[in-house]
Structure 1
Amino acid sequence: MSKKDSDRIGKYLEQQNRPYSVNDIFMNLHKEIGKTALQKAMDLLVSEGSVREKVYGKQKVYVYNQAQFPPLDQEELKKMDAQINDLTTSLHQAEKEALEMDSRLRALNSSLTTEEVNKKIAELEEEIPKLQKKLKNLEENQVMVSKEEREVTTKQMKQMVVQWRKRRRCANDMLDGIMEGYPHSKKKLIEEIGLETDEEVGAVMPVI
């Protein structure tokens, strides 16, 4: 065992300032010092008083002698406690914001894409005038149909209107989500993504 090894081990225990067994130190120092030499160094440090030895059954644990550290500054401790409280508060706030962002992300991921919304809207806009015309003809009795066919047609129109409302609400929700980080107006966003609104195509939702 060399004096250099002993000094190195003592410095390591001072820097870490936590209890270790000989095997812990052996592994932490990447086996650069043999266990026999390491044990002799620990015995020397204990005899010098720079390291304290604690025995737990058959296990010996070594820790740097706390008496060698300068006395704690109570004012500094209070400042550190205040900093810990501030950091804890900031951490909780960050965790809360992260959960909110994660929730919003999941909501957006589960929604239709802009391309899918546009496709659905186009399909509905194409289907609705046909149903409106058919309904009008039925209401004016221009086409003779059975009661059953009229009920089926009316039911289909109502289903289409429900889907129309659902898709429009979905599109608006997506736009509102994008608008939170978009620097311009909603009108500008709609123009940029090429989204056609009901008003632009003259589509009027029936009252059901």
Structure 2
Amino acid sequence: MSKSKEAVASQAVFSYLLKQNRPYSAQDLFQNMGKDLGKTAVVKALESLTAEGKIKEKVYGKQKVYVIDQTQFPDVDESEIKSMDDKISQLNGKFQLRSEEVRKLESELRAFNGMLSTESARAELSKLYSELEQLKVKLNKFKEGRVLISKEEKDRVYQNREKYVKEWRKRKRVTSDILNAILEGYPKTKKQLYDDIGIETDEDYNVKVPDV
């Protein structure tokens, strides 16, 4: 690398460290400066600047970091530091207030977003009015004793009733036949048989099989 290029690299690295005023490794500088100089140029610039006393080299194990020599900066007035600290404290207070206001506004915004728009509310209200009118009509039919099921529904109910009654009669007859067969060789009475095997009859509960 020519002397002019080395000088340009050294000036670029020095300017960056002066502006940032924080420690960096050679790799950090190579990455942060856009890789324009090349890793070798950055390392040479750091070595040159360290030798000139413009920057300080700190070794942590196998890692080397570089920072601008603080004598490059003018002495800071203590009163100025205190003034800056006070200003930072004030700004932090304002930031907290603004953050709280933002949180409240975001909460209100979420609440508003969850609400129905005026147009949607009107559509929902219209739907409810329609349902209400339908319920009123149905209620009036109940009050007047009108039949509220269709003929098809009524026929289906009667058909199901007929089917279930026939099944009831069939099972009652089968059960009776089985028990009568058992009674032929049973030494006790019919009632005793029913008690022994835990059978409860329709007659025990005054239940009569309806006519089909």
Q: Please give the TM-score of this superposition, normalised by the length of structure 1.
A: 0.57
Aligned mate of 1:86, from 63, 67, 90: 90
Residue in 2 that maps onto 1:118 = 122
Structure possessing the higher radius of gyration over alpha carbons: 2
For residues 120-139 of structure 1, what are the structure 2 equivalents within 5 Å?
Answer: 120-124=124-128
1:40-55 equivalent positions in 2, closer than 5 A: 40-55=44-59
5+ unaligned residues in a row in structure 1: which ranges?
138-142, 146-208
Q: Quick one: which of 12, 30, 37 aligns to 1:8?
A: 12
Cα distance, 1:128 vs structure 2: 6.3
TM-superposed CA distance for 1:33, in Å, is: 2.0
SS in 2 for 1:60: strand
C-alpha deviations, 1:163-199, integer Å up to 9, x for none?
A: xxxxxxxxxxxxxxxxxxxxxxxxxxxxxxxxxxxxx
Cα RMSD for the two superposed structures: 2.8
| Structure 2 counterparts to residues 163-174 of structure 1, below 5 A | none
The code of the aligned residue for 1:76 comes to E
> Matches of 2:16 and 2:131 in 1, distance apart?
78
Match of 1:34 in 2: 38
1:70 counterpart = 2:74: yes
Work out which structure has the larger RCO, using CA pairs closer than 8 Å and 6 or more positions apart in sequence: 1
Task: Render the CA deviation track for 1:108-146: whole Å, top value 9, x for unaligned.
Answer: 1112221122233345556768989999x9xxxxx667x
Question: Aligned-pair distance for 1:38?
Answer: 2.3
Pick which of 76-85 and 125-134 moved more: 125-134
Q: Report the CA distance shift for 1:70/1:126 in structure 2 as closer, same or farther (over 3 A).
A: same
- C-alpha separation in 1, matches of 2:131 and 2:36: 79
Q: Match of 2:121, SS?
A: helix
- List runs of 5+ in structure 2 lacking aligned partners: 146-212
Q: 2:25 aligns with which of 21, 37, 40?
A: 21
Once residues 24 and 144 of structure 1 are traced to their aligned partners in structure 2, the CA distance between those partners, rounded to angstroms, is 90
